Amino acid sequence: MLNSSEISLMRLSGNILSNVLKEIKEFCIIGNSTLAISKKAEEIIRNYGGEPAFLNYKGFPESICISINDTLIHGIPKKDIFLKDGDIVSIDVGVVYKGYYTDACRTFFVGHVSDQAQKIVKIAEECFFNAVNLIKPGVHLGDISYTIGQHAQANGFSIPRDFTGHGIGKNLHEPPFIPNYGVKGTGVILREGMCLAIEPMIAAGTNEVKILNDGWTVKMLDGKLSAHYENTVLVTNDGYEILTK
């Protein structure tokens, strides 16, 4: 549980991250390399007084994760990977400010994308908001997880089960871990002062994934589209506050 002064620092961290996502969207255009986008994101984070939380985290070599199309998460920015017309690109950003971490992701369109691409991005975002609207003290975490999975599956998408959301605050990843599927009425009971990184990750085909030889990049096994939407959320005395919106 975070106290009021810690929550204030979390808000400042989240505000930096929100600004990064707003500003980096304009760089997600045809022809830009993912490395150039990452370097720009790092510049923005530092200009606002934060530090990139992912840089050198467990050996991750860049400042943000950039995952395109069938890459679910943890795509490593590279100078020879360029955005193309029709891509969907997930920009996952972590910020640390005065020792407090926030984490968020958006999936953006590059040029003209397919109807399916538009739908999967829309449903990933809806999964988040359907779930987060349940948040208040006393709610079981399983209700959040169930709601994400139910909405994705009702719209024809699958839920990769190898990766989850998580608690966040003084560390980038903290308990509790938050699957994108679950059973109502089970799991941790939410309390005021908790901070959660809730992150629906959904796929157009199978839910099976493979990790590339770089040890980070997670791709869908069948090569079909995936989408990722995430915010850092504070449990308040009567509901919730999105710190990275």
Cα–Cα–Cα angle for 75, 125, 110, rounded to 5 degrees: 50
Q: Give the pLDDT of residue 113.
A: 98
139-190 pLDDT per residue, tens: 999 999 999 999 999 999 999 999 999 999 999 999 999 999 999 999 999 9
Polymer length in residues for the chain:
245
58-100 pLDDT per residue, tens: 999 999 999 999 999 999 999 999 999 999 999 999 999 999 9
pLDDT (average), residues 36-56: 98
Domain, as residue range, for 227: 4-242
Report how many domains make up the chain. 1
pTM beyond 0.85: the answer is yes
- Hey, how many other C-beta atoms are within 10 angstroms of the C-beta on 151? 20
220-237 pLDDT per residue, tens: 999 999 999 999 999 999
**What is the CATH classification number for the domain harbouring 188?**
3.90.230.10
238-245 long-range contacts, CB within 8 A, separation 24+: 238/136, 238/137, 239/135, 239/136, 240/132, 240/135, 240/136, 242/132, 243/10, 243/11, 243/13, 243/14, 243/15, 243/102, 243/195, 244/14, 244/17, 244/18, 244/21, 244/102, 244/103, 244/104, 245/18
CA distances from 145 to 76, 91, 179, 227, 237 (A): 27, 22, 6, 17, 21
CA distance 22 to 27: 10
In the DSSP assignment, the letter for residue 111 is: S
